[in-house]
Amino acid sequence: MAYAPLIFDLHGVLLGRREPDGHLPAGEVLRQLRAAGHPLRFLTNSSSVERRQVVAQLASAGVEVDAGEVYTAAMTVAHYLRRCGRPRKLFVVGSDALRAELDAMCGGLLNWAAPEEADTVVASRDPALDEDTLRRLARAAQPQLIATCRDLGFPDGDGIHPGPGQTVARVEQALDAQAMVLGKPNPYALESVMDLPAPLSDCVVIGDSPLQDVALARKAGARAVLVASGGEAPDGPEPDWRIDAIDQLLPLLCR
């Protein structure tokens, strides 16, 4: 399996996770995987951080990566809007980082609109979403609704934080519409956004969620490693391999 591109999830795998006693830290494991010839990529459903912020977060956890190896859900949505190529009256339910990514990649295609005037709504995690905004969205004339993901929560060291899925559900109810979800487990990022040096059938997705990471691998035709998260994993597609510690990737992939 030498040189197989490895696609890592972040939260619960490289961030917000403590390796079991007696095992190598994640940063050293990734260094050895690189030395063995594996190209590394990092894919997160988060849209509240920019690439450079992800690099800084990983560095603080002892994991050194290049910004060009990092892909966020905000980048995936921006790529889709740019590829569609039509002007949009856009309203964003989400973070400033999401707005900045959309503006940087889509530029002149976007006109920022009030909720009731939008023909496109992008929804992600927004704990500040209020009832007035939802009422105004309900007056919009059937806008296209795009969501980053449906994650209900994510681990981040001190516990599970609410994910974008809760916000997305509220926006769907207000618009009486079902969102097109572009983040994991949709393989759009792997198929259209990510710079990969090999076919997807040669790639390995490494994550802690059967419903997001393993499902992503199955939809893309890749292989999957499920990393134990410390709790009972929800039902979902079966991975190719299960591991309890990140350094168990070394005998699995470096042979």
Task: Say what the pLDDT of residue 234 is.
Answer: 63
**Angle between helix 73-84 and 96-106 (nearest 10):** 30
**185 preceded by a cis bond (ω within 30 of 0):** yes
- pTM of the full structure: 0.93
Handedness of CA 137, 138, 141, 146 (dihedral sign): positive
For residue 86, what are its two tokens? 């039509």
pLDDT of amino acid 74: 96
Indicate the residue type of 105: M
pLDDT at 176: 97
Contacts of 135 (CB under 8 A, 6+ apart): 174
Check if 6-45+184-253 and 74-181 are the same fold.
Answer: yes
Tell me what pLDDT residue 134 has: 98
Q: Report residue 36 as tokens.
A: 């063995």
CATH topology of domain 74-181: Rossmann fold (3.40.50)
Nearest to 94 by CA among 48, 149, 133, 130: 48
| Domain map (residue ranges) of the chain | 6-45+184-253, 74-181
pLDDT confidence of residue 254: 86
In angstroms, how far is the first alpha carbon of the chain from the final one?
Answer: 7
Q: Are the CB atoms for 45 and 149 separated by under 8 Å?
A: yes
Q: What is the pLDDT of residue 159?
A: 62
Q: How are beta strands 88-93 and 110-112 bridged, if at all? A: parallel
d(CA 16, CA 4): 26
Number of residues in the chain: 255
Output the tens digit of pLDDT for each of the chain's 255 residues: 568 999 999 999 999 888 888 899 999 999 999 999 999 999 999 999 999 999 999 999 999 999 999 999 999 999 999 999 999 999 999 999 999 999 999 988 999 999 999 999 999 999 999 999 999 999 999 999 999 999 887 666 566 777 899 999 999 999 999 999 999 999 999 999 999 999 999 999 999 999 999 999 999 999 999 998 765 556 789 999 999 999 999 999 987
Cβ atoms of residues 4 and 226 within 8 Å: no
Edge to edge, what strands does the sheet with 40-44 contain?
A: 70-72, 40-44, 6-8, 204-207, 223-227, 241-243
CATH of domain 6-45+184-253: 3.40.50.1000
The confidence score (pLDDT) of residue 158 equals 60
- Residue 233: the pLDDT is 58
CA nearest to 165, candidates 94, 89, 75: 94
